[in-house]
Structure 1
Amino acid sequence: MRSLLLAALALACLSSAASALQLEPYKDDLFSYPGILKSDDGGDYVVVEYNEMRDINGRDQVPERRVKQNYVSLQPKRSQKDLVVTTNTGPVKVMAAGKLDQGASIITIYLHGQGGNRQQGMNDFTFGGNFNRLKNLMDRNGGLYLTPDFSDFDDRGESEIAGLINYFKSQSPQAKLIVACGSMGGALCWRLARDAKAAKSISGLVILGSLWDENFIGSAAFKRRIPVFFGHGSRDPVFAIDNQEAFFQKIRGSAKGYPVRFHRFESGNHGTPIRMIDWRGVLNWMLSVAP
């Protein structure tokens, strides 16, 4: 009887793993990493080859302003909307693309850094077309992509984004929700990780060229073992990569097998991870290990 029970449990686990959402390929030949210089920690730490002449000048029609047309599809424009969502903190302006009605398969929210706004993450042509790829991955897989404005990187901004998460999760309660934070936006990612209510709704954190927070260890998100991905340029002048790599190792050492990955873009600058991150690879990993 015991052996039959164990077999049934094993079959249920396999069935659950097999049914986990995985995003279908989209322009993988253009957006996959150009080369891997090093892989360590069982593949959780990767050094990615980055070359400015190839990855900016060779990819953009106008360097840093407009990517070449073959990197872009404007299909998500058909579903793109500029909305105002009412939260307990007040109205929040948010741009959305993908499945806005109930039943989104996955929700990805991008939080901009200092000086940014909700339009940054919806721009189809900057950052080598990488935001456009993310929009397409959401739109073509029944997902929803959101880029909000918020008041600050402190209490009010945290409350606004927590309210936004609560609203859209109520529309699609089964959806895995990923929060991606660029630069100073990472302050909100870490604050949300410590928010017990918000952390219950979050299935992954993507930290791009951003800061670290020692208080993440032991937070509500940490206890749920929410996967964390770090992307960082080796020459980032804003947030030193040595500190971020040390924090990655601290997370690894704080809980055995904790789902955390670090992709170092060798010779990359502050904005390089936003341009270079392989969104499909990162999100599919998160979907496979998220609680």
Structure 2
Amino acid sequence: MRMSTSHCTIMAVIAAFFMMATDQVWAADALPPFKDDLFSTQKVLQTGDGGAFEVIEYDEMRDINGRDQIPEKRTQQKYVSLGVRKSQTDETLSLGGLKLDVTRVGPASAAGFTVIFIHGRNGDRRLGANDYTFGGNFNRLKNLVAGNGGVYYSPSVKSFDSDGVAAIAGLIRYASEQSPGKPVILTCASMGSQICWGISRDPESVKRLKGMVIMSGVADPDFAKSPFYKSKLPLWFAHGSRDPVYAATDQQALFEKLLKANYPTHFTLYQTGNHGTPIRMIDWRRALNWILAS
């Protein structure tokens, strides 16, 4: 059946409307509550800079010993929902001649958005896919992403140099090609933050990114020279005040410089928190919704 020119025009307008409606989803709380009573009821001790800076109460006896069945090894069952494992698989991707081992949770293609987690030193893809460690926070992340039509990748990064950056640039490109036009969020922890900073300097990767999350990471004094900075993509920091590996003050100083430049940024400081505290305590729903809405 042939369509008239006017009919085709109407259909095009309707299609454009639905595309706009899809984009507007990200302007609100795109990710609905998931176990918010367990993960999002954190006590705010201090706020500043119009809400861009916050200090959250952290209590090891409550947030580790009171939360885990076996401290730091296995959280209580109520913190996890394992149905998401049905959409989880380990695979090796071929990315422009590079092989990358990943754990993927969610659809391989046509995902509504992508979240990538980069582990730190001595880690691999298993860290970001473990349901029971870090108080079940990775399980929540998987449910928030895959449960809302997104895809989550936890890759094994072999090195935190240019080779590691190239591998993750390939993963970002691959995810973007699998789900064209959809948001890609890169999150990095500890030494993995070097991958985030490296990606921030890669113009092709930056074009595909929606934002980044840096947890317990090293500061990048040259970040303001990067394409990521020039694109003003949102950047969320999370750090423990007693971090013995990378000082919170270094990241906070970078955050304050960005804030003065009217850069879209947020800093969550966990009072008395250690190096691994942000991975356990970050409110993934808040962080991801803030980036998606920016």
Per-residue deviation, 1:200:
0.7
Q: In structure 2, what residue type is equivalent to 1:239?
A: Y
User: Which of the numbers 161, 164, 169 marks the counterpart of 1:162?
Assistant: 169
The one-letter amino acid paired with 1:66 is R
> What is the match of residue 93 of structure 2?
85
Cα contact 2:119–2:157 (8 A) shared by 1? no
How much does 1:203 deviate? 0.8
Q: Max radius of gyration: which structure? A: 2
Partner of 1:73: 81
**Given the alignment, which residue of 235, 246, 255 partners 2:242?**
235
Alpha-carbon distance, 1:88 to partner? 2.0
Q: Does 1:43 align with 2:48?
A: no
2:267 corresponds to 1:279: no
CA drift of 1:178 comes to 0.6
Task: Name the structure 1 match of 2:128.
Answer: 121
Q: 1:278 to 1:125 in 2, by over 3 A?
A: same
TM-score scaled by length of structure 1: 0.91
CA-to-partner distance for each residue in 1:253-275, whole Å, 9 max, x for gaps? Answer: 2x32x110000000000000000
1:205 has 2:218 as partner: no
Q: C-alpha deviations, 1:144-195, integer Å up to 9, x for none?
A: 0000012211111011110111111101012211111010000000000010
CA distance in 2, matches of 1:263, 1:188: 21
2:73 maps to amino acid = R
Aligned length: 273
Specify the alignment match of 1:249 in structure 2.
256
Question: 1:209 Cα shift?
Answer: 0.5
Distance 2:67 2:191 in 1: 26
How many angstroms apart in 2 are the aligned matches of 1:88 and 1:125?
34
Equivalent in the alignment of 1:105: 112
Give the share of equivalent positions with the same residue, in percent: 47
TM-score, scaled relative to structure 2: 0.90
CA contact (8 A) 1:89 1:160 kept: no
3-state SS of the aligned residue for 1:226? coil
Secondary structure of 2:225's aligned partner: coil
What stretches of structure 2 of length at least 5 have no aligned partner? 1-19
1:220 alignment partner in structure 2:
227
**1:121-140 superposed matches below 5 A:** 121-140=128-147
Write the distance in 2 (CA, Å) between the matches of 1:221 and 1:160: 18
Residue 275 of structure 2 aligns to a residue whose secondary structure is: coil
Choose from 183, 189, 193 the match for 1:186: 193
